[in-house]
Amino acid sequence: MDIRTWKETVQVMGDYIDKDNGFNRHIEWSEEFERQSASISHKYGQQIKVEEQIVYSSKWSSRGTSKGYKMYISGVGIEWKQQGQALSKVKSVMEKITAAIDKLDNARKREENKKNALQTTVDRFKAEYPDAEVTTDYGYESSYDSRGRRSNYSNGERYNLVQIQFANSARIAYKVYPDGSLSRVSFNLPGSKDEDTFRNNLSQMNFKND
């Protein structure tokens, strides 16, 4: 736990009209307070800050009303909207921290599954096609804005790719899912420098069984 103490001066300003100098502003009331806040750092990277909640009305001359000491959470896994919420119940604080930890754990498990699935796929293709060159890469899922328009930026979720270049120069690439399943994302034949050549090469291939 870390406790911080500081001085803070609160003032209420007043206005009046002086017949010689015109509009003037002066201090109606002023007082210096000693403020304190306490924060507790969680081992998973979240922080609980305890601070007095002062609520001000829409009137500029308001001195503010104390709503007592409240808890604020921040840190890893806590959404920015939640960081400004004043919480009075310990149960609510722990529920939000537990949800953040679960979210982080799920993300870590997903990344571990993605890593294992990628390695398993690479090992499988190398064993099945020993004369081929097997490489890895990555791509990004397309993201969309609130109107359903596709973003021009690669800010979607990252996924793994496995690429195979066979001895005959044909190439194929697969998207690798965390569960090990595959989805083909590209297929290139030797000499296919454009779509017309690629289609012509496909039309000349014989897939009939003897």
Residues 104-122: tens digit of each pLDDT: 899 899 999 999 999 999 9
Mean pLDDT across the chain, nearest whole number? Answer: 83
For the chain, what is the domain count? 2
Instruction: Confirm whether 99 is domain-assigned.
Output: no
Measured at the CA of 43, the angle between CA 37 and CA 44, to 5 degrees, comes to 105
Q: Which residue has the higher pLDDT, 181 or 67?
A: 181
Whether residue 84 sits in one domain with residue 9 = yes
Residues 63-77: tens digit of each pLDDT: 678 888 898 998 888
Instruction: Confirm whether 162 is domain-assigned.
Output: yes
Whether residue 154 sits in one domain with residue 77 = no
Residue 78 is predicted with a pLDDT of 87
Instruction: Confirm whether 121 is domain-assigned.
Output: no
The half-sphere exposure of 144 on its side-chain side, counting CA atoms within 13 A, is: 5
Least confident of 118-127, 141-150, 194-203: 141-150
Residue 126 is predicted with a pLDDT of 95
Mean of pLDDT values over 39-52: 80
- Model confidence at 174, in pLDDT bands (50, 70, 90)? very high
Residue 147 is predicted with a pLDDT of 64
For residues 84-108, one letter each, b for 16 or more C-beta atoms within 10 angstroms of the residue's C-beta and e for the rest, the string is eeebeeeeebeebbeebbeeeeeee
**HEC letters along 91-133:** HHHHHHHHHHHHHHHHHHHHHHHHHHHHHHHHHHHHHHCCCCE
Instruction: Confirm whether 210 is domain-assigned.
Output: no
Residue 49 is predicted with a pLDDT of 85
Q: What is the extent of the structural domain holding 7?
A: 2-88
Residue 128 is predicted with a pLDDT of 93
- pLDDT(202) > 80: no
Q: Which of 29, 60, 88 is the last residue of a domain?
A: 88
Q: Which of 56, 88, 120 is the last residue of a domain?
A: 88
Instruction: Confirm whether 31 is domain-assigned.
Output: yes
Whether residue 148 sits in one domain with residue 80 = no
Q: Which of 30, 61, 88 is the last residue of a domain?
A: 88
Residue 172 is predicted with a pLDDT of 93
Q: Which amino acid is at 195?
A: E
Residue 182 is predicted with a pLDDT of 94
Q: Which residue has the higher pLDDT, 151 or 185?
A: 185
What six digits make up the tokens of 174? 């697969």
